[in-house]
Amino acid sequence: MKRLLLFIPVILAVTLGMVLFAGIGKDPSHLESALIGKPVPAFELTNLLAPGEQLDEQVFKGQVSLLNVWGTWCPACRDEHGELVRLARSEGVRIVGLNYKDQRDLALQWLSGLGNPYAVTLYDPAGRVGFDLGVYGAPETYVIDGDGIVRFRHVGVVTEQVWRELLEPVVRQYQEQG
């Protein structure tokens, strides 16, 4: 029995090593989404800028959009914000914001101070829609086609390189098909 107990730490160490080895070389920003190819989940949220206005998944109908999940509590969201403003203003990209698990007054101050790249901003203080989307954390950005179908998911900061290499090709593909 004593000999068996001596092997338990070795077995645990080997198992842990195998798990860690399996993750080497994998892109941590690439998380599969069960929603790819499926409609955006049904929702009803208020407009961050107009609390009396109810919005639903119809905000994605008719035009390819980026859905950007963000919060004022998220340092990486601040890092990408300037690029989102540039995309909206210089590239004409339609971006829908999902203000996730945040306080309305802080989010409004953020947009007032840093600029507002969003065509519309959904306010999700409880994170219900984020949960339905499978949000792992902020920032996350989805490409939604003009029919409201999720086509791509990027976890992490949107940089110019991420736009050019990952998001723009998908956006342009579905704009051409639309």
Domain ranges across the chain: 30-177
Q: What's the whole-number mean pLDDT along residues 145-170?
A: 98
CB of 60 within 8 A of CB of 38? no
- Distance (Å, rounded) from C-alpha 65 to C-alpha 150? 10
Q: At 111, phi and psi to the nearest 5? A: -65, -35
* CATH class of residue range 30-177: alpha beta
SS3 94: coil
The pLDDT of residue 29? 41
Q: If pLDDT is split at 50, 70 and 90, which confidence band does 8 have?
A: low
Q: What's the whole-number mean pLDDT along residues 68-90?
A: 98
CB of 110 within 8 A of CB of 116? no
Q: What's the whole-number mean pLDDT along residues 142-171?
A: 98
- Distance (Å, rounded) from C-alpha 21 to C-alpha 13? 12
